[in-house]
Homo-oligomer: A and B are copies of this chain.
Amino acid sequence: MSQQQAVLAVSTVIFALRSDPTTGISTVWIPVVRRIREPHEGRWALPGGPLRVDDDLEEAARSHLLETTGLTPKYLEQLYAFGKVGRSPGPRVVSIVYWALVESDEAARATVGENVTWLSTDELPELAFDHNLIVDYALWRLRTKMEYSRIAHAFLGDTFTLAQLREVHEAVRQKPLDPANFRRTIESSKTVVPTGEFVTGARHRPARLYRYDGSIDLADSGPLQ
């Protein structure tokens, strides 16, 4: 049953925003892959796999993510190491889990097939292993971190309107925000700069386009980077 060493794996919870096909409201979705062998054959699981001995942890997350889903994250951060004895049948597995944010329109173009699909975090089925707990924890981190850092930009393209940025916050925090107060909060944070361009075509006043100020880091990780 037990062997000399635990197996090390790296997995990633990837978040993207998608419009609900019925209501049209943006909500948080994750890509999952189907398990093609036991244990939990047939169930959906987080993308990931064993750590190759010459790969850095973050690099392993990034490359495995690209191979299975074709996605390149705009934000990637270590979440937690899950290592409880018995969390996986068979040999002991310790999973170092990352969480990532990808641009909405890149997510729309991402690989989907028989063995890869997107699931809404509002109504997740039972996933393989302890992956429901992992997603719950990643969602909690996303929501708390959204309140005090600027990671929302990672869901958007290079330029965006304040309405789009507000939509991201509303999707993640699951409540409407006052447009006037939101505007002032963002403007006083000095993290965005107006490009001078406007979005025309909608049947209302054109919205100013902004660009994220790259001289400020998305999230303060202290001494790590």
Which A residues between 167 and 216 are near B, CB-CB below 8 angstroms?
A: none
* A55: min CB distance to chain B, Å: 7
Instruction: Please report whether the interface of chain A is mostly helix, strand, loop or mixed according to DSSP.
Output: loop
User: Are A53 and B4 in contact (CB-based, < 8 A)?
Assistant: yes
- Looking at A2, A3, A94, A223, the one whose CB has the most chain B CB atoms below 10 A away is A223
Chain B contacts for A96, CB-based, 8 A: 81, 83, 94
User: Are B222 and A141 in contact (CB-based, < 8 A)?
Assistant: yes
A51 and B6 contact, Cβ closer than 8 Å, known pairs A57-B94, A83-B56, A83-B96: yes
A94 and B54 contact, Cβ closer than 8 Å, known pairs A137-B222, A224-B80: no
Whether, in the assembled complex, A126 has its beta carbon less than 8 Å from a beta carbon of chain B, the answer is no
* A53: min CB distance to chain B, Å: 5
Chain B contacts for A5, CB-based, 8 A: 5, 7-8, 53
Chain B contacts for A83, CB-based, 8 A: 51, 56-57, 96
Residue of B nearest to A83 (CB): B57
Interface residues on chain A, number (Cβ under 8 Å): 31
* A66: min CB distance to chain B, Å: 19
Q: How far is the CA of A174 from the CA of B33 in the complex (A)?
A: 48
Chain B contacts for A54, CB-based, 8 A: 2, 85, 92
* A192: min CB distance to chain B, Å: 24
Q: How far is the CA of A3 from the CA of B222 in the complex (A)?
A: 33
Chain B contacts for A144, CB-based, 8 A: 222
User: Are B78 and A222 in contact (CB-based, < 8 A)?
Assistant: no
Residue of B nearest to A148 (CB): B148
Which A residues between 1 and 27 are near B, CB-CB below 8 angstroms?
A: 2-8
27 A-B pairs, CB-CB below 8 angstroms?
Answer: A4-B53, A5-B7, A6-B51, A6-B53, A8-B8, A51-B83, A53-B92, A54-B85, A54-B92, A55-B85, A56-B83, A56-B84, A56-B85, A57-B81, A57-B83, A57-B84, A57-B94, A80-B224, A81-B81, A81-B96, A94-B96, A133-B223, A136-B222, A136-B223, A137-B222, A140-B222, A144-B222
